[in-house]
Amino acid sequence: MAHTLPALPYAFDALEPHIDAKTMEIHSQKHHKAYVDNLNNALKDHAELAAHDIVSLLRNIKSVPEAIRPAVINNGGGHHNHSLFWEIMAPNAGGEPTGAIGDAIKATFGDFTKFKDTVKQNALTQFGSGWSWLVWDPTASAIKTIKKPNQDSPLMDGHVPLLGCDIWEHAYYLKYQNLRAGYVDAWWNVVNWKKVDELYQTAKAGK
């Protein structure tokens, strides 16, 4: 079954002024679509993989034939990363997290400011393109922050991605140019903590 481009859960301009409408349009309709198209193209001659959803493909990346594995990592990772990215952002969002994820962040990092500083530091020190992540680590039964290059998915390491800041230049360059730090600071204003809390509780329950 072919992978498909998900519809944005809001209008292109819904995250203004923090993320501009043109960036959202190009990012979702051009970049994300290319990942989906390229992933489907990589899988077209591998019927045995057709029944696997994107999460299963990435979690079991070593079982993907070596000839197409780089394409699945790059494009499958890009597809899943972006599908999550659209959901963990929302208009009229931001602020401090509450509920279970808020408690977990305070327990792990001390306070929300320290957590944001850690995510931002990972974003600024990731050389080139990549992502700054908050993930659930099932082996440690804990949340932690990591950074990953390119479109490498945390799923490939056995982690469950909960919150990801896309730091590819196509995510911010139209509005922020080379000021990645300014983009990261603004991005916190659109984080959908309700969705992140939902993902956290599901991951913690092992679902």
Task: Express each pLDDT in 33-65 by its tens digit.
Answer: 999 999 999 999 998 898 899 999 999 999 999
Q: Which residues contact 100 (CB under 8 A, 6 or more apart)?
A: 197, 200, 201, 204
**Using an 8 Å Cβ cutoff, are 133 and 145 in contact?**
yes
Query: Which pLDDT belongs to residue 160?
Result: 98
> Is 79 a residue whose pLDDT tops 90?
yes
Matching CATH number, 21-87, of 3.30.479.30, 3.40.50.300, 1.10.10.60, 1.10.287.990: 1.10.287.990
Alpha-carbon distance of 103 to 99, in angstroms, equals 6
- Locate the domains of the chain by residue range: 21-87, 99-204
The arithmetic mean of pLDDT across residues 201-207, rounded, is 92
Alpha-carbon distance of 116 to 197, in angstroms, equals 16
**Using an 8 Å Cβ cutoff, are 65 and 46 in contact?**
yes
Alpha-carbon distance of 184 to 95, in angstroms, equals 14
Question: Does domain 99-204 sit in CATH 3.30.390.10?
Answer: no
**Using an 8 Å Cβ cutoff, are 12 and 24 in contact?**
yes
What is the band of 126 on the pLDDT scale with cuts at 50, 70, 90?
Answer: very high
What is the band of 191 on the pLDDT scale with cuts at 50, 70, 90?
Answer: very high
50-54, 129-133, 167-171, 190-194: which range is least confident on average?
50-54
pLDDT in tens, 95-105: 999 999 999 99
